[in-house]
Amino acid sequence: MIGIDKHTTGRPPNLDIWTYPRQYFAERLERQPKTVSELRPALMEFHFLLGSYNNHCVGPILNLLPENIRTQVTPQARAKLNLFQQKFHRFLEDYKLFVERLVRERPSLDGVPSSFNMPKPFVWKAALSVGVHHVREVLVRGKR
């Protein structure tokens, strides 16, 4: 599997696997006639590229890194990862709305996918346990 799962050593995904498919896709779009009949396969291919990148690169980095690697990520890097997650999440939402509107206006595009697994913010279990401990502490203090 490309990406990171519970059985890997935590190696980051190889981003090169998206370089050439993205490049060939962009070049083909420049060459092909700009027609509705060409739009459907282009949207399907773009969805595949975007979904693959999301599922095999973004998601694993944000959600599946082993805990021993997560704890080594600096607060500054965590902040950058979470900013990226927020921007990417927004991009996926905007793209979904774009496709849904396009399908409403062009019924011939019905069936073009628009949904993605949405990446979650980068967290690490130690931070979560500290957060839970802090909430408990605040609640206990509030009851006194």
Q: Output the pLDDT for position 11.
A: 64
Q: Output the pLDDT for position 114.
A: 96
Check if the beta carbon of residue 114 is closer than 8 Å to that of residue 96.
Answer: yes
Instruction: Write 72-78 long-range contacts (CB < 8 A, 24+).
Output: 73/122, 73/124, 78/122, 78/124
Helix axes of 16-31 and 36-53: crossing angle, nearest 10 degrees: 170
Q: Measured between alpha carbons, how far is residue 80 from residues 3, 87, 89 in Å?
A: 20, 11, 14
Check if the beta carbon of residue 97 is closer than 8 Å to that of residue 78.
Answer: no
Q: Measured between alpha carbons, how far is residue 128 from residues 96, 108, 123 in Å?
A: 31, 47, 7
Instruction: Please state whether 44 falls in left (phi above 0), alpha (psi between -120 and 50) or beta.
Output: alpha
User: Distance from CA of residue 84 to its chain's centroid?
Assistant: 9
Give the pLDDT of the chain (144 residues) as one tens digit per residue: 334 444 445 566 777 788 889 999 999 999 999 998 899 999 999 999 999 999 988 988 888 888 888 889 999 999 999 999 999 999 999 999 999 999 999 999 999 999 999 999 988 655 544 444 444 555 566 555
Name which of 135, 59, 128, 129 is nearest 92 in CA terms: 59
Report how far residue 111's alpha carbon sits from residue 5's, in angstroms, rounded to the nearest whole number: 31
